[in-house]
Amino acid sequence: MVMKKIMKAENVLLAFAVAFLLGFQAVAIAQEQTSSGIQSGDWIVRAGMVNVDPQSNNGDIVTVSDDTRLSINFTYMVTDNIGLDVLGALPFEHDLYTTPTVETALGIPTGTWAASTEHLPPTVSAIYHFSPGSNFRPYV
pLDDT(27) > 90 = no
Residue-wise pLDDT for 73-123, tens only, equals 999 999 999 999 999 998 999 998 988 888 888 888 888 898 999 998 888
pLDDT at 66: 92
In the structure, what pLDDT confidence band is assigned to residue 2 with cuts at 50, 70 and 90?
A: very low
pTM score, whole prediction: 0.60
pLDDT of residue 15: 61
The mean pLDDT value of the chain amounts to 80
Residues 6+ apart with CB under 8 A from 135: 30, 31, 33, 35, 37
C-beta separation of 127 from 75 below 8 A: yes
Residues 129, 57: Cα–Cα separation, whole Å: 34
- Give the start-to-end residue ranges of the domains of the chain: 2-128
Q: Return the H-helix or E-strand segment holding 20.
A: helix 2-32
The residues with which 128 forms a beta bridge, in sequence order, are 82
DSSP class of residue 61 equals S
